[in-house]
Amino acid sequence: MDEDPELKLINARKLAELRKRAERASVASSLAAAAAVPKLQKSPKEIVLEALYDRGDEVLQAAYDAYPRQTEVVVEQLARLLKQTGGREKISGGELFALFRNLGLRFSMKTTIKVQDKGRFVDLKDKLKMDMEG
């Protein structure tokens, strides 16, 4: 029993179409894989820096200056926790400073107190000097 020539032609077209689809899918998947490769993983420090606000970067830098090895361990753990929460959490500079203090890592931060004087912010020591002179 020979197959009908039209049926052979239809099967050949379908087979060619399936091959084209498979080729397109493999090309698309290889492009997606190639696009994902250059996307480098962020370092733990970068992850933590993205979550910091309100002078948090200054606190982190001061911690690195005072305790580089211990700070690296803390940053790795913070990055791990931030990844688990999906990066929704934000950490203020004060909270980060308190964390380091609670861990026994004590260091000082340069702070200034500014007061508003005639519509502009002035250091408190300058304001006191002006008040004493005037």
Band of pLDDT at residue 27, cut at 50, 70 and 90 = confident
Residues 128 and 66 in one domain: yes
What is the chain's mean pLDDT, rounded? Answer: 85
Say whether both 26 and 56 belong to one domain. Answer: no
pLDDT at 35: 64
The mean pLDDT value for 27-56 works out to 78
Task: Check whether 103 has a pLDDT greater than 80.
Answer: yes
Do residues 34 and 46 share a domain? no
> 49 and 35, same structural domain?
no
Average pLDDT over residues 12-32: 85
Domains of the chain: total:
2
Closest among 59, 81, 80 to 71, alpha carbons compared: 59
Q: How does pLDDT run across 50-62, given as a tens digit for each residue?
A: 888 888 889 999 9
Segment 62-66 shows an average pLDDT of: 92
> What residue numbers bound the domain in which 35 lies?
1-39
| pLDDT (0 to 100) of residue 39 | 55
- Is 60:99 a contact under the CB 8 Å cutoff? no
| pLDDT confidence of residue 1 | 52
Residues 2 and 31 in one domain: yes
* Percent of the chain clearing pLDDT 90 (strictly above): 22
Say whether both 23 and 83 belong to one domain: no
Counting Cβ atoms within 10 Å, is residue 122 exposed (0-12), middle (13-18) or buried (19+)?
middle
Same domain, 91 and 57: yes
Residues 1 and 64 placed together within one structural domain of the fold: no
Q: Are residues 66 and 93 in the same domain?
A: yes
How sure is the predictor about 3, in pLDDT bands with cuts at 50, 70 and 90? low
The sign of the torsion formed by the CA atoms of 52, 56, 58, 63 equals negative
Q: What per-residue confidence (pLDDT) applies to 34?
A: 65
State residue 74's pLDDT score.
92
